[in-house]
Structure 1
Amino acid sequence: MAIQILNGLVYGSLLYVLSVGLVLIFGLRRVVNFAHGGMFMIGGYIGYTVSAVAGFGTGVFVSVLAMAVFGVLLDRFVFRQLQDHDPIVTVLVTFGILLVLEDVAKTVWGNDILSLPMPQALSGVLMLGETGFPVYRLFVVVVAIVVALGLSLWLRFSRAGLFVRAASVDPITTGMQGVNTERLSAIVVGVGIGLAGLAGTVSAPLLALAPSIGASIVIDAFIVVVTGGLTSFTGAFIAAMLIGQVHNWGVAFVPAAASLIPLLLMVCVLIWRPHGFGKNAA
């Protein structure tokens, strides 16, 4: 049972790192980014390619940096124009970007399933009684904790973080105070998509890399965001850990319905708490 709980914690940690980027982007841009899973997938492929020649740490760094730059460009040329459009337009455009990213992955890396070897330093096993648990999986949990603490400290105590919180509530008034909200949005979207790249690379030794992986995992990420309250980082963390457990136990005991159980949980939570587990961006 302990191993099942830990595996759920690992999947929940991956979901958190991925979904918190969606929370950041929606909180400031009010854009529902269906392409986020594609950025997770491309980030994983970049990490895979760079890690093969320069090591895992470099692969993570390059993946995060490349996806963050891509996020800044995407905000400048796409999200800025989508901000005041009908949500249906946003969904169609971002879904189209997802399809383009999938085609790019097929062209560059092919349709074969790839897997990134675990870094040697994290390839050990931690014994829990008579059962072993991979050290790398615990590393994934640590990454999620570091991301959660880092975002919390940035949003609460840094000048830029305070501006992000203010702009997510009232961007017009924040702009009138002399804050460059467009530059702030570019930074936030860059961070959010950079986190998608981080999640993609960190997950590569655990999940098979394929062009379709982004479309499948982004569904769980959106369930996390909605269950967590759309703009709440604390809510996203709670929801990710809960969805991770539900998904893992579902795969273990009712694999045929495993993908439906998180959806049912989301419906139950929203009936109980219409705002999800959180109400605000902080």
Structure 2
Amino acid sequence: MLTINLFNGLVYGALLIIMCSGLALIYGLRRVVNFAHGSLYMLGAYIGYSIALHSNFWVALVAAPAVMALLGVVLDRYGFRLLQDRDPLTVVLVTFGLLLVIEDFVQTVWGKSNLTVDVPAALAMSVNVLGTPLPAYRIGVIVIGALVALGLTLWLRRSKVGLFVRAASTDPTTTAMQGVNTDLLSAGVVGLGTALAGLAGVVAAPFLSLSPSMSSDVIIDSFVVVVVGGLGSLAGAFVAAMALGMIQALGAVYVPDFSAILPFVIMVAVLIWKPSGFAGSRT
């Protein structure tokens, strides 16, 4: 039982890594706390569902994030770019309004009933790990989360564009003076961030039912991860995501009556100890 719970904690942590990477990237460059990020995750899941119906899951895994990336570029051009220098209340109201619009759109197009996505046949099996059968698909989710974390880290640390992203997140004015088109850079990063939200939705669909309320199920945990890890910090988000997944898994075993509030208790404790989170606010 404990092994299964720890495994599920790893799976949920990997899902949060995919989800929160996008949230952290968007905040890192635009300094916009996107309260609609959970609805983008939900929209990606539903788009993936429709694509899978007409083709297969593997096509949806690529195509749905691509569609979400295009949506992200549009949102940056006509939304986040304009919100960048606005007061926090305006940002909250606009992004929360966007959340409501997306939720209403999903209900209009796909309805309010729960929908299911089949696990791809290639992963519809169990793998014996240390004597415990574990679903192969969920192992795949852990692998995808690890690849996202590794890929983003290498991209930010080793590539020229990644260097520009880190510079712009620290000092956008000086970066622009060096000839970097920070608006174009930010549009690309926001597109990547929304693509990651969509990817998280597609990945989650086979083991979480699709419903218009699925955004609220994950966005609260996502904000706990981003705040505890440090706003805009990818490394902090990675650590906090896995920690939250494991804490919830262990909490479900040892303190089931309080497992739902454990993330918030830890968030408050971390913020009292270090208000900037584990890693501050650097990408």
Superposition TM-score, scaled by structure 2 size? 0.96
Supply the AA of the counterpart residue of 1:266.
Answer: M
Shift >6 Å, 4+ stretches: none
1:235 CA displacement: 0.7
Separation of aligned partners in 1, 2:81 and 2:103: 23
- 1:265 match: 266
Determine the structure 1 residue equivalent to 2:34. Answer: 33
Letter in 2 for 1:125: S
Per the alignment, do residues 236 and 215 of structure 1 end up closer, same or farther by CA in structure 2, a change over 3 Å counting?
same
CA shift digits 1:221-261 (9 cap, x unpaired): 00000000112111101100011112233344555543311
Please give the per-residue CA displacement for 1:53-79, whole angstroms capped at 9, x wherever unaligned.
Answer: 211110111110010000000000011
Displacement of 1:280 after TM fit? 4.3
Report the equivalent of 1:209. 210
User: For 2:134, what is the secondary structure of its paired residue?
Assistant: strand
Partner Cα separation in structure 1 for residue 256 and residue 59 of structure 2: 36
SS of structure 2 residue aligned to 1:65 = helix
Letter in 1 for 2:178: Q
Q: 1:129 to 1:157 in 2, by over 3 A?
A: closer
Q: Is the partner of 2:127 in helix, strand or coil? A: strand
Matches within 5 A, 1:99-178: 99-178=100-179
Paired with 1:251 and 1:59, the residues of 2 have a C-alpha distance of 32
Alignment pair present for 1:89 and 2:90 = yes
* Cα distance in 2 for residues equivalent to 1:117 and 1:150: 27
Report if aligned partners of 1:225, 1:236 keep a CA contact under 8 Å in 2. yes
SS in 2 for 1:79: helix
**In the aligned structure 2, how far is the partner of 1:235 from the partner of 1:92?**
27
Equivalent-residue separation in structure 1 for 2:272 and 2:120 (angstroms):
43
CA distance in 2, matches of 1:153, 1:129: 32
Deviation at 1:124, TM superposition (A): 1.1
Distance, in Å, in 1 between the alignment partners of 2:248 and 2:113 is 26
The answer for the alignment partner of 1:180 in structure 2 is 181
Q: Tell me, what secondary structure is at the counterpart of 2:279?
A: coil
With 144-153 and 242-251 compared, the bigger mean Cα shift is at 242-251
Q: Residue 106 of structure 1 aligns to which amino acid in structure 2?
A: Q
SS of 2:231's equivalent in the other structure is coil
1-side partners of 2:25 and 2:132: how far apart?
38
Q: Which moved more, 1:219-228 or 1:128-137?
A: 128-137
TM-score, with structure 1 as normaliser: 0.97
Structure 2 distance, partners of 1:74, 1:91, is 15
Residue 163 of structure 1: how far off its partner (Å): 0.4
Tell me how far apart the structure 2 counterparts of residues 255 and 21 of structure 1 sit (CA, whole Å). Answer: 30
1:239-278 correspondence runs (5 A): 239-278=240-279
Structure 1: stretches of 5+ with no match in the other structure: none
Give the number of equivalent residue pairs: 282
Distance 1:51 1:261 in 2: 36
- Tell me if the contact between 1:231 and 1:278 (Cα under 8 Å) persists in the aligned partners: no
1:67 matched residue in structure 2: 68
Q: Distance in 2 between matches of 1:247 and 1:223?
A: 13
Name the CA distance, whole Å, in 2 between partners of 1:79 and 1:259. 32
> In 2, Cα distance between the equivalents of 1:59 and 1:105?
17
Tell me how far apart the structure 1 counterparts of residues 105 and 185 of structure 2 sit (CA, whole Å).
29
Task: Report the RMSD for the aligned CA atoms in angstroms.
Answer: 1.3
SS of 1:279's partner is coil
Q: How does 1:5-84 map to 2 (within 5 A)?
A: 5-84=6-85
| Amino acid in the other structure paired with 2:34 | N
* 2:113 partner SS: coil
- Separation (CA, whole Å) in 2 of partners of 1:232 and 1:133: 32
In the TM superposition, what is the alpha-carbon distance from 1:199 to its structure 2 partner? Answer: 0.2
* 1:279 corresponds to 2:283: no
1:101 and 1:254 map into 2 onto residues whose CA distance is: 36
Alignment gaps of 5+ in structure 2:
none
